[in-house]
Structure 1
Amino acid sequence: MATLKTRARIFVLVILAALPALLLTVYSAVERRASTENQARAELRRLVKLAAMQQWQVVEGARQMMVASSQVLFTLLSDRRRCTEYFASLLAQNREAYHSMGLFTPDGQLFCNAASWRDKVYSGDRLYFRLAKETGRFTVGEYQVGRVTGKAGINFGFPLRDADSKLYAVAFAGLDLENLGRMAEATPLPPEGILSVVDVKGTVLARKPAMPERVGKRLWNSQVIDAVLAGREGVLEAKGEDGVDWLLAHEVVTQNPDGAFPLRVMVTVPLSRVFSEGNRALVRDLLGISLATLFLLVGVWYGTEWFMLRKIGGLLRAADRVRGGDLNARTGIPYGGEELSQLAQAFDDMALALQQREQKLQEQAISDPLTGLYNRRYLNEFLPRELVRCRRGAAPLAVMLIDLDHFKRINDSFGHEAGDVVLKAIAALLKGKVRGSDIACRYGGEEFALILPETGLDAAVRRAEVIRLAIARLVVSHAGAPLGKITTSLGIALFPDHGEDSDALLRAADVALYAAKGAGRDRVVVGSAEKR
């Protein structure tokens, strides 16, 4: 050291001063790596839930179509030609979504099909048929190749039963896998990410990026199949068939009556990609220290590094916020022709598109498509939260269930379109009768629910009577014909008098509703506390 010149000594001191920063950078890189993995897991969970919701909409669309067609199908059971023509017309309207539709007899023989066939076709061995026949409910099948069309897909089954649960036929609709593929393509993915939709056995039904040769084949790793199919959702690490380590998130789309999960969405991203930003950050930090040292010695690079790091920092902060679920995040960087400005503009455009898409999906997930009211799913989310707030503030809350009396007569006499007109009219009336703090939901079928925070028993009964009388005064017409007087039965349950949680309150209101019907309908009945 004594032999070194002053300039060399300063150089050595600068290097020694940089060592703590170097060690701190390495330590921060380790911390950042762990944080990056947690953030990546959270982002994959969000993406896989979004993809599962999109695929659920496909299944729900099929279920609603088959329910809506069930009454018509009962009239076609004795006429094979008319049955075939009906399904051909229905298939023509849904050509992009399905490749076949038809009816099977209870013994599994094909009765009619939108597509033409020659020989006898038996499907009694198909999963969707067996479950629909055994459970009497809508079912989702597994990957199969159609025995009439020869096309790959999955089938939905819906049993046609009378009031005595006698099975007359099983309707089916064969979903075109390209429809699942289109929904998959609409899901945003991280760079190098892969989205797969698999059936109950782990067979690939759709994939993004598209890879047709993978469709119809099981997942590459039996251990991955066992781990994924064992639960409803999760995030795990797995080794791909190419030897690459992947981070994998999975989520079920729907559940069959037998408890199995016929559809599941998986999103995978290479672990190397997950940590690439952390690795780049480490290199960047080390380079920054080296540059800082050179700045002290040379005094040249300071300004350039300052402007660059400032913009990169803005991008990283915005990326962290988006990764954490804050889609309002923007870089705040002025746009221009320079590369980082162009990258900032592209990032902001991507965040805006994600925000708009997520908002649209959230609205669809909590709304009833017919009436525009909140759906039962939103009620099940809102009511427990509201009870926590009321319990904390020692405030009452009323749950009101409303059921249309003799609604089946309207459907039977005037048709289901008339019934829909009635439901829309009731929904419009309820919207006008609720406060800003209340919510009105379509609870199911012809049944509605009102959640009335900070509402005592007397006020709830008064409001129920106002609603009952308002509905009785409704004049509803369809196709120029009046549908007659509409009456309702209403059941009321009060928190905390009749129940401490949402399930107890809904049960108490339901019991009161049925008491109102049993007492002659067109009246309001208040529930009572559950017996322990």
Structure 2
Amino acid sequence: MIKSLRGHLIFFQILLIVIFAMMMTYSMFEIHRITAKSTKEEALRVARQVKWQQLRWIDETKILLPLIAKRLSLTNGNSTDVAVKNCSAYLVELQEDFPQYLNFGVINPDGSIQCSALPFKKGARLDDRDYFISAKKSRTVSMGNYQIGRITGKASINFGFPLYDNKGEFNGVIFAAINIEAIDINLTQLSLPEGSVVTLLSSAGTILTRYPHGEDWVGRTAIEWPVVQLILRSKKEGTAKHNDYRGVERLYSFTPFKINSRSIYVLVGIPSQLAYADANALYLRNLIVLLTIASLFILFSWFWFGQSVLKPLESLRLTSEKLNQGDFSARTNLLPNNREINQLGCAFNKMAGNIEARYQEKLQNEKILQDVNRALRTLSGGNHALIRANEELELLQDMCRVAVEEGGYIIF
């Protein structure tokens, strides 16, 4: 019985701990859900920030290129050596004022280079570049794809602006080459958690730039990444949770923007482990506190239950066994107080006292009855002896015999 009570106590304690642990686990999952949502929202905020940064660069380039064209008066079709020298000198100064650009230059209608801020090889042609073809067709500022510049020899994204003469005939393209490394430097100013990655993708899934370590990624394709496939399918702003190319789970947010008819995607990825780090640490800390409190509670309740419940119950059990064995003087050692179990012990002692009193009374009555029976047997034997006796001596002898044998009296 006592072991059973201890077992029940431990069972309910463990059950209570499990319930609390389950509640904590549910809370952790709920915190994970809220954290994932807020992290994606933060990543989306960063993606939008990058998007507006890029759009600002594009807008600045759209404003800058027509101003350069007007400054050089190239719309008049002047391509003399003096004009070319003046053009190159001005572009050199311009490139120094805008270090985010690798180069500025002017391309003739046939694709040959008219002038450039950087030296170029004679005979070099750029009529196959996307920004040249697109600017010629769109008649506005156009963006090319990622490229390794034939003049700069570095990774860049070029913009082109078409030039026209007084008759409205196509007269070439002025271009500006944005330094990919300058974009990386701009991304370092964003408030991103450690381990986060920001990627600019073309509509073909090509990496235009990436932070950090952009120099190792520029120009590589990411079309096989699940998140990139999702982006190219949806073609709109959104969030997702996917493993990256290394199998690390990340919370992604992405947003598109267009340059002319071309889509560029900003992708921000934050490691899930990093995003959940605070929640996991809080859960682990709470779990340790719970287990510590539970262990102390179990030890305390084990001692308290043993002293306050099991020990009194054990005293009641032993006393009841003694009573059952006929020891009516047995009593519990529970002192009277306000505790229910002590009151039970006192009631038990009172009951045992009543039983002992009745038993003693019974013994007394039995003794009286035995004395009465002995006297009656002696009287009966004496009557028979009196009837049978012929002489006084014989009667006296028979009476003594009856008193000893029938009554159990002792005659000295």
| TM-score, length of structure 2 as denominator length | 0.64
- Pick one of 72, 80, 83 that aligns with 2:87: 83
Match of 1:22 in 2: 21
TM-aligned CA deviation for residue 268 of structure 1: 0.7
Is residue 150 from structure 1 mapped to residue 149 from structure 2 by the alignment?
Answer: no
Structure 1 residues 15-414: aligned runs within 5 Å:
15-75=14-74, 77-78=77-78, 79-94=83-98, 96-161=99-164, 165-219=168-222, 221=224, 223-230=226-233, 231-252=235-256, 254-257=257-260, 259-261=261-263, 263-296=264-297
In 1: Cα distance, 2:204 partner to 2:16 partner: 60
TM-aligned CA deviation for residue 196 of structure 1: 1.7
**SS of the residue 1:248 aligns to:** strand
**SS of the residue 1:215 aligns to:** coil
Q: 1:109 to 1:283 in 2, by over 3 A?
A: same
Q: Deviations 1:195-241 (Å, cap 9, x if unpaired)?
A: 12233433323322225222221226254433323414222233322
In 1: Cα distance, 2:84 partner to 2:15 partner: 90
Identity %: 24
Q: Which runs of 4+ in 1 moved over 4 A?
A: 8-13, 162-165
Q: Decide whether the 8 Å contact of 1:246 with 1:269 is kept in 2.
A: yes
Unaligned runs of 5+ in 2: 301-412
**Per chain length, whose mean CA-contact separation is higher, i.e. which structure has more relative contact order (CA < 8 Å, sep 6+)?**
2
Letter matched to residue 290 of structure 2: I
Q: Decide whether the 8 Å contact of 2:163 with 2:172 is kept in 1.
A: yes
Q: 1:267 to 1:87 in 2, by over 3 A?
A: same
Q: Considering only CA atoms, is the larger Rg found in Structure 1 or Structure 2?
A: 2
Tell me how large the CA RMSD over aligned residues is. Answer: 2.6
Q: 1:33 to 1:225 in 2, by over 3 A?
A: closer
In 2: Cα distance, 1:149 partner to 1:248 partner: 34
**SS of the residue 2:145 aligns to:** coil
In 1: Cα distance, 2:299 partner to 2:168 partner: 88
TM-aligned CA deviation for residue 113 of structure 1: 1.1
Unaligned runs of 5+ in 1: 300-532
Aligned length: 294
In 2: Cα distance, 1:276 partner to 1:165 partner: 62
Q: Decide whether the 8 Å contact of 1:245 with 1:271 is kept in 2.
A: yes
TM-aligned CA deviation for residue 185 of structure 1: 0.8
Q: 1:246 to 1:164 in 2, by over 3 A?
A: farther
Greater fraction of residues in helix: 2
**SS of the residue 2:262 aligns to:** coil
Q: Deviations 1:13-72 (Å, cap 9, x if unpaired)?
A: 433332322222222233333222222221211121122222322222222211322212
Q: Decide whether the 8 Å contact of 1:131 with 1:139 is kept in 2.
A: yes
In 1: Cα distance, 2:152 partner to 2:38 partner: 45
TM-aligned CA deviation for residue 92 of structure 1: 2.2
Q: Decide whether the 8 Å contact of 2:102 with 2:178 is kept in 1.
A: yes
Q: Decide whether the 8 Å contact of 2:253 with 2:268 is kept in 1.
A: yes
In 2: Cα distance, 1:61 partner to 1:266 partner: 23
TM-aligned CA deviation for residue 279 of structure 1: 3.3
Q: Deviations 1:105-155 (Å, cap 9, x if unpaired)?
A: 222221111111232122222111111110111111111111122121110
| TM-score, length of structure 1 as denominator length | 0.51
Q: Name whichever of 218-227 and 172-181 sits farther off.
A: 218-227
**SS of the residue 1:137 aligns to:** coil
In 2: Cα distance, 1:118 partner to 1:295 partner: 83
In 2: Cα distance, 1:272 partner to 1:220 partner: 25
